[in-house]
Amino acid sequence: MKVNTPSPLPPIEALFGQRLGIVTQQYSGLIVRLLEPHDLTWPQFALLVHLSRASGPSRISDMVRALDLTQSAITKMVQKFANLGLVEVARDLNDARNRPVSITAQGRAHVGAVQRSFGPAFAVLTGGWDPDRLAGLLRDLEELSRRLETLRDTSTGPGDTTR
């Protein structure tokens, strides 16, 4: 008679990866639903947020690296947002290939309005969470982000500008 013994748990790293994948999918679904009324995709919103946080104009190549998207995807988004008056594309007199992109006041206001619209969903998401635990989670997420950036920088992927 064969006795079924429970399988040992996967290594903690595998459990971490599984949970991260689940949370990523859940968060992506939430963001898609929150952005839909604003006629924005997550990559489009990420580009606007990136520009709104930048201390000055960003080059397309900088946005490719920061957002981990292709040059063609970034260029199409910049063109769309320039036509809508949300960003401004300048000319570099020293290098015609360089087209610095800045967010306009209208673009900054749009980002703020979209972010404010997230308020009710994020209040539910974080409601009842101890503020100290939430602050700790935020620190851990920032560290995770730094580590993911390190992995991105040491491997090829969508942000590879040679494609």
Residue 163 confidence (pLDDT): 38
Note down the domain range covering 88. 12-121
Asked if residue 106 is part of any domain, the answer here is yes
Q: Who's near 80: CB < 8 A, 6+ residues apart?
A: 44
Asked, for residue 114, whether it belongs to a domain, the answer is yes
The CA-atom distances, in angstroms, between 84 and each of 30, 51, 77, 79, 87 are: 25, 15, 11, 9, 8
**CB-count burial class (<10 Å; 0-12, 13-18, 19+) for 48:** buried
Residue-level pLDDT at 157: 52
- Residue at 161: amino acid letter: T
Tell me if 137 is assigned to some domain.
no
126 in a domain, yes or no? no
Do residues 83 and 62 make contact, with C-beta atoms less than 8 angstroms apart?
no
What is residue 149's three-state secondary structure? Answer: helix
Encoding tokens for residue 1?
Answer: 């008679």
pLDDT of residue 162: 45
| pLDDT recorded at residue 156 | 56
147 in any annotated domain: no
- CB contact at 8 A, 117 and 127: no
Classify residue 74: in a domain, yes or no.
Answer: yes
> Residue 162 falls within a domain, yes or no?
no
How many domains is the chain partitioned into structurally? 1
How many beta carbons lie within 10 A of that of residue 77, not counting itself? 24
pTM, 2 dp: 0.79
Strands 101-103 and 87-89: antiparallel
List of the chain residues with pLDDT < 70: 1-3, 155-163
∠ Cα 96 46 62 (to 5°): 30
pLDDT at residue 155, rounded to an integer: 64
Instruction: Supply the CATH number for residue 97's domain.
Output: 1.10.10.10
Within a domain: 61 = yes
